[in-house]
Chain A
């Protein structure tokens, strides 16, 4: 399982990547939508974890750009905004596999990542 973490808060994504690596999950991290697009041009990921609110290219717009060239890539959105109910509706409309509200529970994140990979394998 290979993950790309995208959030403009460097201290957040770098630590999250470190914690995932301790769980034997390979995770790269970047702090902008542009860097995420570049990473996806040279590497193949199973899942991109995208922050909704980022400067220049937000998570929803980034997903649109990434899915053009990465048809197999799956998405998890994370956000600090709004109520969970509001966000659930928004996420479903945009077609993300899952959404998580910050602060993220890493066990929930890992479970969701494994579910996504299991679904991919079944397909």
Chain B
């Protein structure tokens, strides 16, 4: 428990801060698009009031864009809410497939900014482990952050969770740049602390361009 309290410190807080800053930026973009399209509807109304003909198609397009952004914002807020509630329980049954889906959503803006696409299997079977949800999310983010940095020219990172024999395995694959990294560089001390706290271990398959977390 002392170890867990310790690693909740700087690294986890920094992760929480980075993630919420990125999400707030994305929410702001959603609001900005709604603002412009609501403004456009106002402009078109003003035109109509002045007696100028207004194409109904323009109104339809603007209102559809608002609906699309409300749906986008709703998805972002739902992810943020799940992320915030990940600190509620210290240990519980967690579906890793859901966690990967959540992290992929949370990281979307960061990935776009880094020119990387994240691919997950949205219909993956549930993979249940008993773990601390927030520490687990933080650990997976550290690995995803590294995976994006070694995505190479392929620029697409695949995330997958599956049950292999008695182990739950999270795989980050298509990591073209993994070959250029010294194997002792990753996982580093920070990741090792989280792996130990979660009774997990990491493996690297350079030729297969994969890194795995095993529970």
Contact = CB atoms under 8 A, between A and B. Distances in A.
Interface of A: 8-9, 11-12, 15-16, 18-19, 22, 53-56, 80-81, 102-104, 106
Contacts of B47: 22
Interface in B14-39: 24-25, 28-29, 31-37, 39
A9 B112 CA distance: 11
Decide if the interface of chain B is mainly helix, strand, loop or mixed: helix
B39 A12 contact: no
B90 interface: no
A12 B62 contact: no
B29 A15 contact: no
Nearest to A10: B33
Given A103-B35, A104-B32, A53 B65 contact: no
Contacts of B28: 80, 102-103
Chain B residues touching A, range: 20 to 34
A8 B115 CA distance: 12
Contacts of A9: 29, 32-33
Interface in B110-159: 112-115
B25 A12 contact: no
A19 B62 CA distance: 11
B114 A55 contact: yes
Contacts of B36: 11-12, 15-16, 19, 103-104, 106
Nearest to A58: B113
Contacts of A53: 25, 113
A103 B113 CA distance: 20
7 contacts: A11-B36, A11-B69, A12-B29, A18-B40, A55-B113, A55-B114, A104-B32
Contact of A55 (B25, B40, B112): B112
A56 B33 CA distance: 22
Nearest to A80: B28
Given A15-B40, A15-B65, A102 B29 contact: yes
B39 A19 contact: yes
Contacts of A103: 28, 31-32, 34-36
Nearest to A22: B43
B115 A15 contact: no
Interface in B33-70: 33-37, 39-40, 43, 47, 62, 65, 68-69
